[in-house]
Amino acid sequence: MKKIVIGDTVSRAWDLAVKHWPIFVLLVVIYQMINGLGLNIDFPMYTEAITNNDPALMSQAITVSPWLAVTFLLGIYLNYVMLNLYVNAYCTGKPYSTMSEAFKVDFNQLAIFFCVQLVFGLIVGLGTCLCIIPGIYLYFRLMYAPLLAATQGASFTEAFSRSWEMTKGHFWELFLLGLTMIGIAILGFCACFVGYFFALVIISFMLVVSFYVLKGNDAPQAFEYQTEV
């Protein structure tokens, strides 16, 4: 059985991030900006609400923009594109052949990805409401479902079933991987904040590297999206 080695995963993700950082950092910044347009956050008030655990103050600190639906859909599209670029970079050594090709999508698969993302969030959110632990467990068992839908041509049900099968017996490895990702994000945030965007690129590559380890094909190879179902 293939196992995720945290040090090796971080090392390989780091190498990939260093090699391809310009395009991915730019896309991460754009993605964060798009998400930020959907919600207006008063950060001083938000911090005070968290400190005082005040839900009423929290609702005042976060207001919904009229553009929320548009930015949400744009975010889903960009996330889909980015996942394909990450997988391309890992499997072929370059994120895309041409820039125009990079942003072309299969709209049927994009719709499946949208549904998978939505249901994944609902499942994890519901599990988290049930004493938190179920949400953590479900997150790591289903964490590859969006990646499968975006890059492997998986159907809605197949994305969840394949993620569940792939992660069987690997929960604690993935849990440690998740803690490592959080640690990298914190370090990136502390690095003058700009490092946070680079940290997100490393984390995304960690997801891809660990996916191919569990998939049973952990070495870069010809991109499989067109042939695998």
* Position 73 in a domain: yes
Closest CA to 110 of 75, 72, 152, 80: 80
Cα–Cα distance measured from residue 41 to residue 202, given in angstroms and rounded to the nearest whole number: 26
Range of the structural domain that residue 25 is part of: 6-215
pLDDT value of residue 1: 61
Q: What does pLDDT average to over the chain?
A: 87
Q: Supply the pTM of this predicted model.
A: 0.84
* Position 223 in a domain: no
* Position 226 in a domain: no
* Position 101 in a domain: yes
Cα–Cα distance measured from residue 197 to residue 209, given in angstroms and rounded to the nearest whole number: 19
Q: What is the pLDDT of residues 99-153, one digit of tens each?
A: 788 898 999 999 999 999 999 999 999 988 888 899 999 999 999 999 999 999 9
* Position 225 in a domain: no
* Position 21 in a domain: yes
The count of structural domains within the chain is 1
Cα–Cα distance measured from residue 109 to residue 156, given in angstroms and rounded to the nearest whole number: 9
* Position 19 in a domain: yes
CB atoms within 10 A of CB 66: 7
pLDDT tops 60 at residue 218: no
Q: What is the pLDDT of residues 63-76, one digit of tens each?
A: 766 767 788 889 99
Neighbouring residues of 66: CB distance < 8 A, sequence distance ≥ 6: none
* Position 167 in a domain: yes
